[in-house]
Amino acid sequence: MRGALVVRPFAVLFACTHNAFAACAHAHVASARLVGSHARPPLVQGAPRQAVRATATPRATVAVTAGRAAQLQLSSAVLDGLDDDQRSAVLAPLDCVVRVSAGPGSGKTRVLTRRVQALAEQPSVQLRSVLALTFSKRAAGELRERLAELLGHERAAEMSASTFHLWCARALHVDLRLSGTEFEALAASRLRELHGLEPGAPLPPDAADAARRLDSQFSIADSDESRRVLKQVVPSLKKALAAAHPTIALDELDWSSAALLRMISLHKSRLTTPPSSADPLLPLLLAHYEEQLLMCNALDFNDLLHYMRRALVELPRAAQLAHARWAHVLVDEWQDTDGVMYAIIKELAAPLAAPAPATPAHATPTRSLFVVGDADQSIYQSRGAMASNLAALESDFAASFLSYALPNNYRSTEAITTVASAIIGRKGATRAARTPAAAAAMAARGAVGPPAADRQVLVVGTDNDDEQRRYVAGAIATITGLRGAPGTGAGGRCVPLSEVCVLGRTSRIVQSLEAAFIECKVPYVLVGGTAMFDRADVKDALAHVRLAIGAGELGALERAVTTPRRGLGKSTLALLSSWIEEVGAARAAKGERRLCPRDFLLALAPDAALAELAVVDSELDVAELRALRERSALAPGTITKLSKFGEVVARARARALGSAHLGDAIEAIVEESGMKQHLIDRVEVAVASAEAAQRIAAAAAATAAAAAAAAGTRVLDARAVSAPDGEDGVLAHAEDEQAALERVLSLGNLARADGRELTPHMDDVLTFLASVTLDSGASDGELVDAVRLMTLRRSKGLEFEVVFVTHCEEGTLPSGGWAGAPLDEAIMDEERRLMYVGATRAKSRLYFTWSKIRTVIGKKSGKGFAVSGEISRFLAQARVQLRSAPGAIAFKKVASARSAAGEQPARRPSAAASMREENAANRAKIKEFERRYG
C-alpha cells in the first residue's frame, strides 16, 4: 500500500494526513526512552552494552513530550533500507537534542544523511539553516556526496556540510558579518586574558596595536607560518621569562617549535582560560605568539575555533545571527570534539537548553541538535578530545535530551566483532548484524561459510621485526594472488590489492614496512605523505594569489617576493616592513583605515599599471596611493627595485579581477606573477640534466665494455661504473619538477571542482584560501590498485576486506613504556581504543602481528637497538576472555617469512652460489637499463 509505512517495533503508521501522523509520532517519541532497547546513558567501561542500554529511564522524555517536541512529516523513501534502530534515530523529533551512540559499521553516516533528508522534507525547516559538521575533509566530502545523491546537487548546496575549522573560518570571514570594531573587541578580550587583566582594562600599547590589526580579511596561519612566528618570538620570550622568573633554568626547557606548538594546541583545545599560573612559560608563550600573529592579521587553526566561540559568547548580535542562520546542527564523530568545539555547539543550541515554551512547538521556528558518536572510538584524547562530551549533553540539555543506539555491525564477520569486543574489554561492544541482507553480503565476499579457519582472526608471532615485515608482505602477496596462488576468498578468488590495509601505531612503523613490500614486489600506497597544499611550490603560488586578490598580508608578500627571485633581499624587505609599520601607526593614531601591505606595493607601481588596475578595481584610490608614494622616505634605489614587483602585483590583480571565475583568476595570477614560467624553466633544466646523465652513462658503459673486450674479459655490470643511482636521482628530480608544474597549473581547476560559481570577490577568495589552507589530508591514492599503508589513527572511518595490525608488542601498542611498566590509565585506555578501531576496519580477515625481538630507536642517538618483545597485553587479555569462543581467534608462530609462505627454510648459500646470484642480478639490471633508455 503506497502512502503508508509500518515501522516495527514502534508500530508507527505514516498516514497521508498531518493529524494522523502527528498522533502516531507522539507515541514514537514516548517510546524512544521507555523502550530500553533504543536508548542508553553514557557507556560504562566493562559493562555489557545491552545491560547499560536497558537502564535508560523516561525522565527526560517527560520533559520533551510535555510541550517541546515537534514531530516530523516525511515520505517513506527516507526510511528505505534502514533497520529499526536506524529508523528510530532518524525519526527523532525536532526541538530536541539527540545523541546517537553508533558502533563500528553500524551505518552512522547513512543515519546522519537520512536525518538531513528528513529535515529537508519539513515545512518548518529551510535547508539553508541546516549545518552538518565533521572532522576531516575526506569525511566532509563523503557527506556532501551522499547528500547530493539524496537531495540533488542544487538542494544539497543550500545547506552547509563542512569541517569544524572550515565552517568557523567561513563564519568569521563572511557569515557573521563582523565589523572591524567587533574583531578588535574579540582580540582585545583574548589578550586581556593572556595578560591577566580585568575585562575592559586598558591593554599594553603593543597588545592594543596587535588587537587593532585583526579584521574580516584575516589570513589563516598554517603550521609552517606558526613555526616561523614562534622562531621570531622565542628570543623576546626568553628575556621576558627570565625577568619574570629569575630562578628558572632556561636551558632545561624545550624551545623547539614542535614542542611549543604542541603546548599551545593542547592548551587551546582544552578551553582552560586564562592559562594556569602553575606553568610560568605558557601565559608568556601564548601572549607573545598570539600578539605576533595578530600583528600579521592572522589566526592559526585553533584560533578559528576560539574566536568563533568568543563571538557567540561576547557579541549578542553575532549570537542572534548564528541562532537564526544555523537552527539545525548535526555533528559526526562527537566523541572527538574538544572543549572549544563543545562550547561552540552548546552556544548554537542554547535555545534548546531553555524551558519549553508555553506556546505550542509548531508556533515557533523549530531547531534541533543531532550528534553521532561512540566512546569506544575516542582516539584523540591525547590531542584534547573529550569523550565525556557524550555524557555532557544529557546534563546540559536535560529538558530536551533523547538517546538512541546503533549496535549492529554491518561491516565485519562475527569472529572479528567478537575479538574486537574482547579487545575493548566489554562483551557485545560491537556485534555482527544477523539480518538476511547482511549475511548475503558477507557470503558474497567469502566472509561466511566454510572453511572455519578462513573466518578466524589470526595473531602471528615472529622472531624479529624484519621477519614480521616479510611475513606481512608475503601473506599479502598470497592473499592477492601476486604469487600465482588461487587466492583465499570465496571460490578461490583473490582479494583486490586496494582492499588490503596494513596499520601501524606510528608513521615510523608504517614507513619501516616499505622495504619489505618493495622486496616482495607488492604495490603499495603510503597514506599520509606530504599533502598537495603542503608542497612548497603550491604554497608559493598561493602566496601570489593571497597577495594579489586576498588579504594582501605581509606573510604572503614575504613568500611571493622570493619565488621567483626578483633581486629583493632581506634588507629591502626590512625597509619595506618598517615603512608599512610607520604609516600604519600614524594612520591608526588618526583613526584612519589601515592599509594592507599590497597597498604599499601598488603605491610604488608605475602609473600605467595603476591606470590599468583602476579600470577593474572600483575600490582602488589612485590619489591616495600616489600621495603615499610621495611621502615615502625610501631611497630611490629601493623604490626602483620595489616598483618592478609592484607592477607585477598590479597587473596580476588587474587580470584576476577582470576574470569571471576564480579559477580563471588564479591561472592569470600564476602566469602574471612569473610562477608558471619559473616552473617551466626548472623542468627544462631538470630534463636537460637527465639527458646529460643518460649520455654520460651510455658513454661510460661503452668505454667499460671496450676495455673489457680488449682485455679478453666479460663485464657483468658495465653500467655500474656510471653510478646508476645518481642517474636515477637525476631522472627522479626531473619527474618531481614536472609534477610541481602540474600541481600549480591545476590550482585553477580546484577552484572549479565543487561546481560552485566562485568569483574573484574577496568573500569567495577568502573561502577558497581557507579551504586549501585547512586541507591537511594527503592524497590517499583512492584510485590506485595498491595496498594501503597507514597509521591506526588515519584509518578511522575506513574499511577494508583484509586488515593487518602490525607491531602489537608492549611498548609499541600500547606505547609509552616497557613491558610490565605502569602506564597512565587514560593513555592506556586510548591505546586500547586505537587497537579496537584498527580491528573494526576489517570486513572479512584480520591479522595481528608481533615480534619476540623488536627494534627500538633511541630518541637522542637516532640509532636502533634490539630489546625483548612481549605480545601486547590487549591481545593477551583478549585471549583469556575468548576461551569460551575458541573458533574466533588463532595464535601461531612463524620461524621466518619463507616458512610462513610454505617454502623450505633457506640455507646459507655457498660463495659460488652467491656469485651466480649476484651475476644474475647484474644482468637483470643491464636489461632493465637498456629497456628504459634504449
Residues 6+ apart with CB under 8 A from 147: 113, 116, 117, 132, 156, 159, 161
State the amino acid at position 581 in one-letter form.
E
Q: If you ran DSSP here, which 8-state letter would residue 530 be given? A: -
Give the list of residues 6+ apart from residue 25 with CB closer than 8 angstroms, or none.
12, 71, 72, 91, 93
Compute the distance between CA of residue 934 and CA of residue 927 in angstroms, rounded to an integer. Answer: 10
Write the single-letter amino acid at 347: E
Query: Of 533, 531, 530, 537, which Cα lies nearest the Cα of 740?
Result: 537
Sign for the CA dihedral angle at 62, 66, 70, 74 comes to positive
Q: Got the DSSP string for 84-112?
A: HHHHHHHT--BSSEEEEEE-TTS-HHHHH
Nearest to 670 by CA among 763, 551, 831, 546: 546
- Is residue 103 part of an annotated ligand binding site? yes
- The separation between the first and the last C-alpha atoms of the chain, rounded to the nearest angstrom, is 72
Q: How far apart are CA 719 and CA 697, in angstroms?
A: 7
Q: What is the DSSP string of 677-708?
A: HHHHHHHHHHHHHHHHHHHHHHHHHHHHHHHH
Q: Does the annotation flag 134 for ligand binding?
A: no
Q: Is 239 annotated as a binding residue?
A: no
Mutual orientation of helices 223-244 and 281-295 as an angle, nearest 10°?
A: 130
Bridge partners of 812, per DSSP, are 815
CB under 8 Å to 804, separation ≥6 — which residues? 472, 475, 476, 500, 501, 502, 503, 847, 848, 849
Rounded Cα distance, 776 and 139, in Å: 13
* 108 marked as part of a ligand binding site: yes
Residue with the three cell numbers 597597498: 599
Handedness of CA 346, 351, 356, 361 (dihedral sign): negative
Q: Is 109 annotated as a binding residue?
A: yes
What is the secondary structure of 822-853 as a DSSP string?
---HHHHHHHHHHHHHHHTTEEEEEEEEEEEE
Q: Identify the H or E element spanning 254.
A: none
Give the span between the Cα atoms of 290 and 269, in whole angstroms: 15
106 is in an annotated binding site: yes
The single residue listed with the C-alpha cell 566562485 is 758
DSSP bridge partners of 866: 855
Q: What is the DSSP string of 548-602?
A: HHS---HHHHHHHTTTTT-S--HHHHHHHHHHHHHHHHHHHHHTPPPPPHHHHHH
Residue-by-residue DSSP string for 589-652: HHTPPPPPHHHHHHHHS-HHHHHHHHTT-TT--HHHHHHHHHT----HHHHHHHHHHHHHHHHH
Look up residue 201 and give its DSSP letter.
Answer: P
Backbone angles phi, psi at 931, to 5 degrees: -65, -40
Q: What does DSSP say about strands 800-805 and 889-893: parallel, antiparallel, or unpaired?
A: unpaired
- Spatial CA neighbour of 813 closest among 377, 423, 258: 423
Residues 6+ apart with CB under 8 A from 871: 459, 461, 808, 809, 810, 850
Tell which phi-psi region holds residue 521, choosing left (phi > 0), alpha (psi between -120 and 50) or beta. left
Instruction: Give the annotated binding-site residues.
Output: 102-109
Instruction: Give the annotated binding-site residues for ATP.
Output: 102-109
